[in-house]
């Protein structure tokens, strides 16, 4: 399959009303979002925060090609596994990484097997996660534009 063809299929998965892909961090404390903002500052990636999985999924409905970073505690693993089972059916372009404290490290391989693309327990070692986020956001196509949007974008002046 050529790059143009795969890009066409990926674009077809995005509704016309979709927002561009974004980084969504779902956590209660805010420490992971702060660390990711610091790590991704040079890349210009904006971090959108959510406090719960339901809110996170609402943000994902708006921008279905987004990258999710979800903090999980051992007691919340089952709920996240249920969401992960539906993620690729509902949002085929989205990807999800899991962050946890050291107590959650035992769930790493279960969550990876369920579909998490990355797992980390240290907010001080986010370089690899930042790389995965940047690659994903660079590869997700922009949502399709309406004719009006394309015309406005082609004008020599900004609307």
| Reported confidence tier of residue 38, pLDDT bands at 50, 70, 90 | very high
Dist CA 84 CA 144 (whole Å):
26
Say whether pTM exceeds 0.85: no
| Reported confidence tier of residue 159, pLDDT bands at 50, 70, 90 | low
Cβ density class 40-69: b for 16+ within 10 Å, e for less: beeeebebbbbeebeebbebbeebbbbbbb
Dist CA 5 CA 14 (whole Å):
15
Question: Tens of pLDDT along 94-104?
Answer: 999 999 998 88
Question: Tens of pLDDT along 109-131?
Answer: 999 999 999 999 998 889 999 99
Region 130-150 average pLDDT: 83
Domains within the chain, CATH numbers bracketed: 14-154 (3.40.50.2300)
Percentage of residues in the chain with pLDDT exceeding 90?
55
Range from 4-8, 50-54, 56-60, 75-79 carrying the lowest mean pLDDT: 4-8
Higher pLDDT, 137 or 14: 137
Percentage of residues in the chain with pLDDT exceeding 70?
86
């Amino acid at each position: 399959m050529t790059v143009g063809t795969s890009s066409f299929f990926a674009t077809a998965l995005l509704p016309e009303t979709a927002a561009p892909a974004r980084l969504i961090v779902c956590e209660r404390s805010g420490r992971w979002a702060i660390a990711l903002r610091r790590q991704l500052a040079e890349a210009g990636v904006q971090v959108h925060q959510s406090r719960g999985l339901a809110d996170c999924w609402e943000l994902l409905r708006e921008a279905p090609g987004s990258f999710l970073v979800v903090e999980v505690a051992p007691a919340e693993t089952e709920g996240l596994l249920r969401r992960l089972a539906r993620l690729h059916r509902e949002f085929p372009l989205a990807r999800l990484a899991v962050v946890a404290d050291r107590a959650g490290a035992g769930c790493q391989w279960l969550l990876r097997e369920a579909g998490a693309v990355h797992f980390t327990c240290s907010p001080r070692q986010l370089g690899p996660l930042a790389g995965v986020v940047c690659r994903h956001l660079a590869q997700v196509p922009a949502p399709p534009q309406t004719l009006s949007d394309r015309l406005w974008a082609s004008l020599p002046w900004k609307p």
